Amino acid sequence: MGSLFLSDSIKPESKLTVDALKSMGLKVSMITADQKLTAQSIASKCGIDVVYSQLSSKGKLNIIQSLQLSNEIVAMVGNADDTNDSLALSKADISISLSSLTTDYNMDYSADIMFMNGNLLTDIISLFDFLRKLFNRMKYNFIYIGLCNLLSIPINLLLLLLGFYLNPILAVIFIYLISLPVVFSNLLLKSWEKPLWIRISEDNVVKLENRKNYMPVNISNSNRLIDWFRNKKLKLMETMFGTCNDSRVENENIIRV
């Protein structure tokens, strides 16, 4: 007489994805319909501290709403074509779907952001990294425009008191010239590249902003990456690396997004 155990496999990039999100200052929790012991086992392997298990669709919705009542901005990652996730996704402040399919039943609960390239967790890291840079760019543009308007009023009044008058055509040209830095600032977003996340110790992950500037060689295997870090005198924990079929995921400790 024997025993048969069945379980879902954990994606190779799951642990590093969670650590990367934590390094951004984000709180990572898990809500699932799985049994408590199963959920806690998976969460411990992925580095997730807060687990909500054995939840129905309504239960997931209640968790989202309770977090929002605690003044938390909630981003939920799930599947829009899963009826158990769709209701909670519709109520989250930011809803992210790892599936591009939606059924007629849950069409009204489609996520705000839907990844079209499949079920790759590393896309979540790239998303938050880009959104932060986009938000910072918006703040810089807002401050620049505000300062221009604030300084232009006293300057215009001073010129008026001194008897200087500006041709309307020149005034329009100056307005366009003032707006050019905002345009170029936005164009800088086109130079954004997906970051490279690397684990250098059990509790420490490093983000390389621009792999062209930081990586002297194209990463083709883990040994070359280890040698590069050793040359940079960074402490690197000796790890037995695994493999993954997806070309963008080298192993559980390296994410090429």
Residue 29 reports pLDDT greater than 60: yes
* pLDDT confidence tier of residue 255, bands split at 50, 70 and 90: very low
Residue 210 reports pLDDT greater than 60: no
| Averaged pLDDT for residues 117-132 | 76
Residue 48: CB partners within 8 Å, gap ≥ 6?
A: 18, 28, 29, 30
Residue 19: CB partners within 8 Å, gap ≥ 6?
A: 47, 199, 203, 205
List the domain boundaries for the chain: 14-121, 126-191, 196-256
| Averaged pLDDT for residues 147-168 | 84
Q: Does domain 14-121 have CATH number 3.40.50.1000?
A: yes
| Averaged pLDDT for residues 227-255 | 40
On the CB side of 86, how many CA atoms lie within 13 Å of its CA? 16
In the chain, % of residues over pLDDT 70: 65
Residue 15 reports pLDDT greater than 90: no
Supply the mean pLDDT for the chain.
Answer: 73
Residue 66 reports pLDDT greater than 90: yes
Of 11, 48, 51, the closest CA to residue 26 belongs to: 48
- C-alpha separations of 205 from 66, 176, 211, 240, 253 in Å: 31, 44, 15, 17, 9
Q: Which of 10-24, 41-55, 152-166, 217-231 has the lowest mean pLDDT?
A: 217-231
For residue 133, the one-letter residue type is: K
Distance CA 109, CA 80 (A): 7
**pLDDT for position 244:** 34
Burial 78-102 (b: 16+ CB within 10 A, else e): bbbbbebbbbbbbbbebbbbbbeeb
| Per-residue pLDDT tens over the stretch 68-101 | 999 989 999 888 767 788 888 888 998 888 765 5
**pLDDT for position 188:** 85
